[in-house]
A and B are shown apart, each in its own frame.
Chain A
């Protein structure tokens, strides 16, 4: 690689050709402030429209200031990142952005986590010249079941557009209009709900301001907790325990399973259960379905649909309902763990506790925003009463704990309640890409071969590569497995299947890059891939430490089948734990 020498703030830097001034400065510890720029190194995606001009620097011999995020270094370049001219311009740029931005920071959902607010503090903005006379652009607010768009707060960084189009290939959002009226929106300014949006929430995860936020259900939750006639049951998804600690200043990758259970109990939940239990149940159903299909295939059944696709991820379900309506019979019919939990809680547990269905409130803590939509789907309701009443994100839980003045870091470790709190290592790894299929393999192998599995760790299924594949030997029968995370990768895999390119038996797909650990409801990682890696390792650490690591060995799962469900794929299981999919390729119009 060709090297280039340049001077930044009187220091000589040597960089590879093709490096931007912003990156070169970073190499010597000079962090030039940015707003629209975003580097998702782990996805190989950079958002640098050069639109905000916050990162301008002075380049000797150049008349105007240069945006450092999109200016390449050249040999002998002399750069000043903090000259009075630069600092003055940067401040003016920010003042101009703020002149068309609401000033309701105190009550904004993003307050404290807002990159624009941080910049205003860093650059010492104390007034906005001409504010009295400045015009504000206003847009119609849009609330979907998962995501709120408040575009008065949009700064046109276009990060959401990059996530939606380049990473997820969903194509719901694009910059529209021009000049003062320019904004990021779905086609024809429709509501998100009437666009191809999957509610994956990756746009919310990268939005620097309060323009894109999640629908907040904490007030509803507090009302339910305060209502003595309600039995409030909570379930927590596997990925939450690997990230929640970050909100309390703990190192990324710190597991807070016990503290989380203690905090939930302190908050007043009547029963603190674990979605992991339902993940084990998912493996029983999905694994059995997989083996049924493979069995039929081996017997020469030509109509059997292979590969089977996992169906735990609600954004992925939305994605194939919208984009692959010709393949609705391919994914597993198994409901997601969230919905299996809700269904079992309101049928089995409510009965056991002697609580009426309508007096039980099931809450889920999820790393995900699509779960908010999923629990509102009509097929998961009985007479209008949903199996899961509401789903709150990891971030919302953190806010709830902080609001209740609970000293999270000093909480003692507590266990989940039973019977819906016991889980295996197989369930924990649902939180990372490749985990669901590894969990399924652990059970399917033993059921199929009737032999005990010596090696539980299928490391060939792990990793953070976008598309992966592996072949597993089921005692002489080779099972080919595909894995994709990020909807863009899922699309590549699906198009390949449609074209008959692959001979996979089973495929796991997760909508968010990294799997649920990188979900749209997780603490903001601001594009730092080290955080994703740390959460990933934490998930596998929790698995390794579990005494039971195969779903079918979970004693409470065994008991649930004995007492209530009969066997996997039984009629009762079908009724309570499986679902069907809809063609959503025709978008509704506003």
Chain B
């Protein structure tokens, strides 16, 4: 993951070129390419989408169409530790909503936002396939099961 300024640096452009090339600049692989690019940059700002459009010789409107369709893709930078709260049926009935509310309150951000220090970002998702552990919260790559509201402070403190 690397920080992005307004305009793309030659290194950034090379990264995008290399990723597109590894898929033979084939627009049919657009979703895979965007996944790889987002992995690299953390998000897909306008300049990055424009660069991908140039490499694949397709319109940037088409790329934005895909980016805005799939919730996985984001145009906003995520925090260093992205937090996701599962709102799938099992987690929801076992109380994930109050957990989400607690996170919003503690971090003072809304869903889809990032804390000013760039540490945490907050998202909701639908079912991670760990319903037995409901309710589930994911921080970065780590999955926390059977979370309760009063656990939140402890979980967050692991990352400070």
Contact = CB atoms under 8 A, between A and B. Distances in A.
Interface stretch (A172-180, A236-244, A334-342, A534-542): A172-180
Nearest to A181: B68
Interface residues of B, number: 12
A314 interface: no
Interface in A156-194: 165, 170-178, 185-188
Interface in B16-64: 46, 49, 58-64
Contact of B61 (A177, A178, A187, A589): A187
Contacts of B59: 165, 170-172, 174, 187, 196
A47 interface: no
B65 interface: yes
B72 interface: no
A185 B69 CA distance: 13
Is chain B's interface secondary structure helix, strand, loop, or mixed overall?
helix
A188 B75 CA distance: 10
Nearest to A197: B61
Contact of B65 (A170, A174, A195): A174
A174 B62 contact: yes
Nearest to A195: B61
A172 B68 contact: no
Interface string A420-463: 00000000000000000000000000000000000000000000
A105 to B, nearest CB: 30
A175 B60 CA distance: 12
Interface string B92-116: 0000000000000000000000000
Contacts of B69: 175-178
A174 B73 CA distance: 17
Contacts of A186: 61
Contact of B58 (A171, A172, A177, A178): A171
B74 to A, nearest CB: 14
Contacts of A170: 59
A185 B49 CA distance: 16
A176 B68 CA distance: 6
A178 B66 CA distance: 10
- How many A residues touch the partner, as a band? 10 to 19
A195 B46 CA distance: 13
Nearest to A178: B69
Contacts of B65: 174-176
Nearest to B63: A187
Contacts of B64: 174, 176, 187-188
B114 to A, nearest CB: 19
* Of B49, B58, B65, most A-chain CB atoms within 10 Å: B65
A513 B28 CA distance: 28
Contacts of A177: 68-69
A220 B124 CA distance: 52
A187 B45 CA distance: 12
Contacts of A187: 49, 59-61, 63-64
Contacts of B58: 171
Nearest to B70: A178
Nearest to A173: B61
A451 to B, nearest CB: 47
Interface in B76-96: none
A230 B155 CA distance: 76
A177 to B, nearest CB: 5
A474 B68 CA distance: 56
A192 to B, nearest CB: 11
Nearest to A172: B61
A187 B62 CA distance: 7
A429 to B, nearest CB: 34
A316 to B, nearest CB: 18
A196 B46 CA distance: 15
* Of A174, A175, A185, A589, most B-chain CB atoms within 10 Å: A174
A409 to B, nearest CB: 43
Contacts of A188: 46, 64
A187 B63 CA distance: 8
26 contacts: A165-B59, A165-B62, A170-B59, A171-B61, A172-B59, A172-B61, A174-B59, A174-B61, A174-B65, A175-B65, A176-B61, A176-B65, A176-B69, A177-B68, A177-B69, A178-B68, A186-B61, A187-B49, A187-B61, A187-B63, A187-B64, A188-B46, A188-B64, A195-B61, A196-B59, A589-B46
Interface of A: 165, 170-178, 185-188, 195-196, 589
| Nearest 7 Cβ contacts at the A-B interface | A171-B59, A174-B61, A174-B65, A187-B64, A187-B61, A187-B60, A176-B68
Given A175-B69, A177-B69, A589-B46, 17 more contacts: A165-B62, A170-B59, A171-B59, A171-B61, A173-B61, A174-B62, A174-B64, A176-B61, A176-B64, A176-B65, A185-B61, A187-B49, A187-B59, A187-B61, A187-B64, A195-B61, A196-B59
